[in-house]
Structure 1
Amino acid sequence: MRDADRIDAVVVGSGPSGAVTARRLVDAGMSVVCLEQGGWPDYSTARAGFPDFELVARKHWDWDPNTRRAPGDYPIDDRGSDITALMFNGVGGSAVMYAAHWERFLPSDFRVRTLDGVADDWPVTYEDMAPYYDEVERQFAVSGLEGDPALPPSTPPPLPPVPLNKVGRRGAEALNRLGWHWWPGSNAIATRDYGRLHACAQSTACPFGCPVGAKASPDRTHWPDLIADGVRLITRARVRELVPTASGLVDGVVYVDEAGVERIQRAQVVILCANALGTPRILLNSGLANSSGLVGRRLMMHPFGNAIGIFDEDLESWRGPLGQHLYSLQFYETDTSRGFVRGAKWNLLPSGAPLSIMLPGLWGAEGHWGPDFHLALRSRLGRSAIWTVICEDLPDDDNRVVLDPDTVDDSGVPGVRIEYRTSDNARAMMAFHLARLEEVLREMGAKEIILNGHIRASGWHLMGTAVMGPDPATSVVDPVGRAHDVPNLFVFDGSTFPTSSGVNPSATIAANALRCADALVKARAEQVVPA
């Protein structure tokens, strides 16, 4: 085992939370090492625009680590889960494969207990978060339009929204006739050249290697500059466990490098940004920060469904951002007469390329095969639109991540097992929202409608397994991400979320990480560190 000199901070994970944290710390003059268990994304395998795109896209860019089996992945047993966990292990984190929907949580999302009598309030408010939302929108080249009446007034995003195209206009006109809310999509997608990013070409390839470099993932937006500014990024570094001290602190992390050599990176503070599976995996393997018994518990993954319409007209729905044309929050807030609490976000997407609209998955469990395959393809390609539903997932102690003693990664670190069941509340919510979207599609003029509730392979949004709060008995970390049990150990990723909201979490993951990093920097003089 080889020790590295103690530095100010070691950050575990290079996704959005790790990247904005490293940015804030290095700007404050701190020495920072980031450990990333995967490598750099290989955009040479991004084939959008080539004839073999759909044949090879999932070979290199599959969302499911159990299918992808890349060198940075670890075993995840999700056989006991209603939803499959999807993520990317590598520089940039899961944002490398996200669809780049960029949504602020609503004010009510921070006050669920107060407003609806369920779950917990966050220890911060929307107003506390607002300046951090503003800053991360600049860092992630967010395109959108200010003034959404569903949200408080805010600083305009740095870039204008992606054009609505034919599909977006058709959806907007239908919602206008129904008198229901909609707003142009807010996306971490550049609509003109911005920093290292280039203007979006609307090739619907966002999750499979953006071909023009328009999507704002940290491998493009953050890490080149962070490395130039002195942050040391160590790739293919598998963190095994934390290094405890006799005084109740941690003195860094143990990791296995690319050559299989076990090393220790010592640091005054350790910050975990490894997502809501990777962070509890490290904590549980270390046996630390779990006096509450909540490490790994309260996993939230956003039950997901869709409503697909097929039209007589050519809507050119093979093009656009994936990314969203527009979104609606019409039925977001609680109305108990519906038989459930909380709500969901809808977003309107292009339908994509030929194989994606014929294979099993988002278009139904069985896909479309047989003698009329070409007739069905001709009716769908360019003539369809997809509304997706993201349902708020309320926290449940029984939905959890645990170490799996039967599997290990290539370095001998245990994998994880997911135990997750979709709640009755979420099932009722999904049924209600799909029924409303059927109304929207009929208003849009769809001749055929396909409804898919609770799609299993949809766990892109991982939250809640190291919850924050003021009380050590009922939370893992305090309101600024510091572990109650270990004063120099921090968690800044989506693990800390008390609730999940009903919108995409990337904006709040980044903003909350920046808020917590800012608090760490401001309190640095009082920070307890190893002797």
Structure 2
Amino acid sequence: MSTRPNDGHEHAGKPHHVDDALPEGAVVDGETLTRAIDDIFDVVVVGSGAAGGTAAYTLASAGLSVGIVEEGPWMRTRDMQEDVHDVFSRVMRMSGLQMLRGKAFMPVLQGRCVGGSTLVNSAIAWRIPEDVVDEWHARFGLGTHITMRALEPQFDALERDLSVSEVSDEVLGENNRLFVEQAKRRGIVTQPMRRYDRGCKGSGQCLTGCPHAAKQGMSVTYVPWTLARGGRIFTSCRVERVDVRGGRARSVLARSATGHHVTVHARYAVVVAASTVQTPNILRRSGVRSRALGRHFQVHPALSLGGLFDRPIEMTFGATQGAESIHFRSTDRFKLETISLPPHLAGARLPGVGYELGSRLAQFGHVAVWAAQVRSRAEGTVGEAWGGGDRIRYSVEEDDLRAARKATALIARMMFEAGAREVWPSIFGVPSILRSIDEVALVDEAPLDPRAYNFIATHLFGAARMGHDASSSVVDPDFRVHDTEGLFVVDSSVFPTNLGVNPQHSIMGMSKLAASRLAARIRGGRIAA
């Protein structure tokens, strides 16, 4: 059986994609469920995003029966649309309004759907940096378990399966091209991004879901491929807890959107891949009492700048995120990248009100948006709020703010050097509109106050981190929850630190490594049913 998705063909006047042709009975839709469900599999996977989708497919490919439990719905390719509000309200946690609370509020974006955030991100593929693996060895003693030698075959397989390639010049688009040109003029090492991409059309709709199934997210790759191997997915079913009895994970207890109980038993193991925020709370509700649970939460705070140019940019065409630079990742702890925002989202970054705002919206075709993500040193916590839900506390530190300020000033100068006539830094205490490169000096002196910056958190780490010592970590180096048989965690909540690069590829590589080892243990009889 091919591991490749259907490239798409015309059917009844509409493109036909792999998520249109699923095995009968493979999807149990919690939005239409009319009775309680009780089912059993070799392994149950909680979550269908980068980590969950990868784990499920790896386990199914090893001949194991796999059940996937997903809190959100399945938005099929045929249902993709450009309207941000409609898409976000359907597939984003809290419609994209979830917040980190601390010295300042920071939005955090998480997909809550089949495919998780791979449905609505830019499919950027960065292998875990070697210096991160070295740090995990030096600080956390993971050197014999998490190594580049162990991870590289996982990345190789992912890149073959999911067609990782550099953004082609045909769909680079002006927003990305202008960034690459200006960075090179400054001597900044830069390049087009490498992405999970099979035939990108340059529609600029990554953030609302690819309408062509060209972006190789989990909902059009590993999840349907798992179902083709006999797996089953329970969508719109919120996991309440993992049933742990006698020191071993036995089943996953969930409730459908219609209120019915869904019980999914595991013969061998439960694999939790619900994200850095939701995983710790599922473990907590399941009786895990590690002192480290919910601690050491990290993010990459990200910010963006808009620039108004005389030349047309047309962000509506081209790869949503197509160019980047890690030139300053080690020295200054930030990464530069492009992001083409649709008018609905870019409007929040445009200065002015009334006529002034309207005039800038009328010139939207001449707007470029470049961004930076900070490899923050700060740590926060994840817990449960009263009445359910998630509570995240996190505040950036002064060093993080210095990195953000330096990145903002650099981007502003690059934009002016590239021909911008206005740059919008979005920092309180700095003019909302800069009209010359000389005015960027005001950014250099911007306040070191987190409330002054329009940060957003999209990359999440820690809160169930890996280590040998059960008093300071949640899972052991084999991804198993300490002192609990058959309960594994494979998402970025196990990462001891953040990365300084976009984490999806690293999450998938770690998940594939964990699932491959788990499958080998089951097949080798080292985990009994």
SS at match of 1:447: strand
What is residue 501 of structure 1 aligned with on the other side?
Answer: 499
How far off its partner does 1:66 sit? 2.2
2:94 matches 1:66:
yes
Equivalences for residues 42-81 of structure 1 within 5 A: 42-43=76-77, 45-48=79-82, 56-62=83-89, 65-67=93-95, 78-80=100-102
Maintained 8 Å contact 2:372/2:404: yes
Maintained 8 Å contact 1:40/1:90: yes
2:134 matches 1:129:
no
The change in CA–CA distance for 1:235 and 1:436 in structure 2 (over 3 A counts) is same
What is residue 26 of structure 1 aligned with on the other side?
Answer: 60
Q: Distance in 1 between matches of 2:107 and 2:86?
A: 18
Deviation above 6 Å: which 4+ runs of structure 1? 118-122
What is residue 229 of structure 1 aligned with on the other side?
Answer: 229
How far off its partner does 1:45 sit? 4.8
What is residue 166 of structure 1 aligned with on the other side?
Answer: 174
Q: Distance in 2 between matches of 1:234 and 1:519?
A: 25
The change in CA–CA distance for 1:104 and 1:113 in structure 2 (over 3 A counts) is closer
What is residue 447 of structure 1 aligned with on the other side?
Answer: 421
Maintained 8 Å contact 1:13/1:36: yes
SS at match of 2:464: coil
The AA in structure 2 aligned to 1:140 is: L
What's the TM-score once normalised by structure 2's chain length? 0.81
2:381 matches 1:400:
yes
The change in CA–CA distance for 1:355 and 1:224 in structure 2 (over 3 A counts) is closer
What is residue 160 of structure 2 aligned with on the other side?
Answer: 138
The AA in structure 2 aligned to 1:187 is: R
Q: Distance in 2 between matches of 1:64 and 1:348?
A: 22
2:339 matches 1:349:
yes
The change in CA–CA distance for 1:435 and 1:284 in structure 2 (over 3 A counts) is same
How far off its partner does 1:321 sit? 1.4
Equivalences for residues 148-227 of structure 1 within 5 A: 163-190=171-198, 199-227=199-227
How far off its partner does 1:495 sit? 0.8
The AA in structure 1 aligned to 2:95 is: T
SS at match of 1:459: strand
Structure 1 unmatched ranges of 5 or more: 49-55, 70-75, 146-159, 191-198, 335-341, 408-413
Aligned to 2:469, which of 463, 468, 471? Answer: 471
Q: Distance in 2 between matches of 1:125 and 1:439?
A: 39
Maintained 8 Å contact 2:92/2:112: no
The AA in structure 2 aligned to 1:321 is: A
What is residue 428 of structure 1 aligned with on the other side?
Answer: 402
What is residue 153 of structure 1 aligned with on the other side?
Answer: none
How far off its partner does 1:189 sit? 2.7
How far off its partner does 1:2 sit? 6.9
Aligned to 1:89, which of 105, 108, 112? Answer: 112
Q: Distance in 2 between matches of 1:512 and 1:121?
A: 13
2:281 matches 1:281:
yes
Q: Which moved more, 1:311-320 or 1:296-305?
A: 311-320
How far off its partner does 1:170 sit? 2.5
How far off its partner does 1:389 sit? 0.6
SS at match of 1:490: strand
The change in CA–CA distance for 1:256 and 1:527 in structure 2 (over 3 A counts) is farther
The change in CA–CA distance for 1:8 and 1:46 in structure 2 (over 3 A counts) is closer
Identical-pair percentage? 28
The AA in structure 2 aligned to 1:99 is: S
The change in CA–CA distance for 1:95 and 1:328 in structure 2 (over 3 A counts) is same
How far off its partner does 1:492 sit? 0.5
Q: Distance in 2 between matches of 1:7 and 1:25?
A: 11
How far off its partner does 1:183 sit? 0.8
Maintained 8 Å contact 2:114/2:219: yes
Q: Distance in 2 between matches of 1:353 and 1:261?
A: 38
2:355 matches 1:371:
yes
The AA in structure 2 aligned to 1:344 is: F
The change in CA–CA distance for 1:349 and 1:402 in structure 2 (over 3 A counts) is closer
The change in CA–CA distance for 1:493 and 1:333 in structure 2 (over 3 A counts) is same
The change in CA–CA distance for 1:481 and 1:113 in structure 2 (over 3 A counts) is closer
How far off its partner does 1:12 sit? 0.6
The change in CA–CA distance for 1:23 and 1:44 in structure 2 (over 3 A counts) is closer
Aligned to 2:478, which of 480, 488, 492? Answer: 480
Deviations 1:172-206 (A, max 9, x none): 2222221110011112232xxxxxxxx22212111
How far off its partner does 1:94 sit? 1.6
Maintained 8 Å contact 1:64/1:85: no
The change in CA–CA distance for 1:109 and 1:439 in structure 2 (over 3 A counts) is farther
Maintained 8 Å contact 1:102/1:188: yes
How far off its partner does 1:418 sit? 1.1
The change in CA–CA distance for 1:403 and 1:417 in structure 2 (over 3 A counts) is same
Deviations 1:259-279 (A, max 9, x none): 423243221211001111111
Maintained 8 Å contact 1:143/1:187: yes
Point out the structure with the larger strand share: 2
Q: Distance in 1 between matches of 2:342 and 2:120?
A: 17
The change in CA–CA distance for 1:164 and 1:39 in structure 2 (over 3 A counts) is closer
Maintained 8 Å contact 1:16/1:509: yes
SS at match of 2:298: coil
The change in CA–CA distance for 1:317 and 1:260 in structure 2 (over 3 A counts) is closer
Q: Distance in 1 between matches of 2:146 and 2:190?
A: 27
What is residue 367 of structure 2 aligned with on the other side?
Answer: 384
Structure 2 unmatched ranges of 5 or more: 1-34, 428-449
SS at match of 1:61: helix
SS at match of 1:401: strand
The AA in structure 1 aligned to 2:249 is: V
The AA in structure 2 aligned to 1:477 is: V
Equivalences for residues 303-322 of structure 1 within 5 A: 303-322=301-320
The AA in structure 2 aligned to 1:98 is: N
Instruction: Please provide the CA RMSD for this pair.
Output: 2.7
How far off its partner does 1:343 sit? 1.2
The change in CA–CA distance for 1:114 and 1:225 in structure 2 (over 3 A counts) is closer
What is residue 252 of structure 2 aligned with on the other side?
Answer: 253
What is residue 338 of structure 1 aligned with on the other side?
Answer: none
Maintained 8 Å contact 2:237/2:257: yes
Q: Distance in 1 between matches of 2:152 and 2:176?
A: 28
Deviations 1:307-356 (A, max 9, x none): 3222111233331111x22111111113xxxxxxx612111233x44444
